[in-house]
Amino acid sequence: MQNIILGGGCFWCTESVFLSLKGVESVVSGYMGGDATTANYQAVCGGNTGHVEVINITFDESVLPLEVLLDVFFGTHDPTTKDRQGNDVGSQYRSVVYYTDDNQKPTVDRTINKLRDMGVNIVTEVHPAVEFYVAEDDHQDFFNRNPGQAYCNFAIPPKLAKLRKEFSKYMVG
């Protein structure tokens, strides 16, 4: 099993995408990358901690190769906007990859360079993982537990539709 930590906007949205993939054992929403020595939803959403809303993904690379996982990541969020994903604005929504193993970095770099060679203006940050702060329980598996939540119903279905269209062979069920 491997872990990688990704920030691509609201963790409710990114979590729902990766929970739909074969080979993903767990997705934990949380915070990473800030200067504050602690993190919670209210503080991070205030934009003053420097932390990013992220998901910590545990996956089986023999089922879901890192290259494919990264293709899904870059294909289901906007890696070209700094500190913004749709209506979510602020540094806590920046696009970032935190690799947990130095062997992951070359794959991350290759994926980004491939997109740049295609003319995509990638602003995604790439850093080694630092301390991960688990988000509060009510933020875990949020979309599945709150299917009627208005924001989720606006933001998540287009991501899942894109996932089904472009990566269906990697989806559960």
Residues 6+ away with beta carbon under 8 Å from 21: 59, 64, 69, 72, 167, 170, 171, 172
**pLDDT given at position 151:** 84
User: What's residue 138's pLDDT?
Assistant: 95
The pLDDT of residue 148: 87
The closest of 128, 123, 92 to 11, measured between CA atoms, is 92
Longest pairwise C-alpha distance within the chain: 41
What per-residue confidence (pLDDT) applies to 92? Answer: 96
Active site residues: 10
Q: Which domains does the chain have, with CATH numbers?
A: 2-170 (3.30.1060.10)
More reliable by pLDDT, 155 or 75: 75
pLDDT digits (tens, 9 = 90+) for 76-125: 999 999 999 988 999 999 999 999 999 999 999 999 999 999 999 999 99
Percent with pLDDT over 90 in the chain: 86
